[in-house]
Amino acid sequence: MDVVVVGGGLSGVAAAVSAAKEGADTALIERAGFLGGLATGGWVGPILGLTIPSTGQPVIKGFLKDLVDQLHQKGGCYSFEECLKRHCVEFNAETLKIVLDEMVTRQRIKLYLDTVCIGARVEDETIKAVEFYTRKGRLLLEGKVFIDATGDGELIFLSGADYRLGREEDGRVMATGSFFRIINVPPVPEEERKKITRAIEEERQKGNISVYHGSIWGRGSFYDTDGYCPNMTRYGGSPVDPEELTAGEIFLRKQAWKVLEICQKVSPFFQEARIMFAPQIGVRESRRLVGMTELTEKDILAATKHQDSIARSTYWIDIHCPLGRTRDNVHLCRKGCPTKEPCVMLNKYPERLEEKLAPPEGDYYTIPLGCLVSANLSNLLAAGRCVSANPKALAAIRVMAPCMAMGQAAGVTATLASLSGKSIRQIPYQVIQQHLQMQGGLL
First-to-last alpha carbon distance for the chain, in angstroms, is 29
For residue 363, what pLDDT is reported?
A: 98
For residue 223, what pLDDT is reported?
A: 87
Distance CA 33, CA 339 (A): 41
Q: 112 - beta bridge partners? A: 29
Q: Are 56 and 84 in contact (CB under 8 A)?
A: yes
Q: What is the pLDDT of residues 77-87, one digit of tens each?
A: 999 999 999 99
Q: What angle do CA 421, 427, 432 make, to 5 degrees?
A: 120
Q: What is the pLDDT of residues 56-72, one digit of tens each?
A: 999 999 999 999 999 99
Distance CA 436, CA 439 (A): 5
State the pLDDT confidence band at 12, using cuts at 50, 70 and 90: very high
* pLDDT at residue 220 tops 90: no
Mean pLDDT of the chain: 97
Q: Are 308 and 299 in contact (CB under 8 A)?
A: no
Report the CATH superfamily, name and number, of domain 3-166+365-438. Answer: FAD/NAD(P)-binding domain (3.50.50.60)
Q: Are 386 and 397 in contact (CB under 8 A)?
A: no
Closest among 111, 117, 109, 166 to 138, alpha carbons compared: 117
Q: What is the pLDDT of residues 87-145, one digit of tens each?
A: 999 999 999 999 999 999 999 999 999 999 999 999 999 999 999 999 999 999 999 99
Distance CA 428, CA 311 (A): 16
* pLDDT at residue 224 tops 90: no
Q: What angle do CA 242, 33, 253 make, to 5 degrees?
A: 45
Q: How far is CA 304 from the centre of its chain?
A: 22
Where do the domains of the chain lie?
A: 3-166+365-438, 180-277
Closest among 220, 188, 214, 186 to 202, alpha carbons compared: 214
* pLDDT at residue 201 tops 90: yes
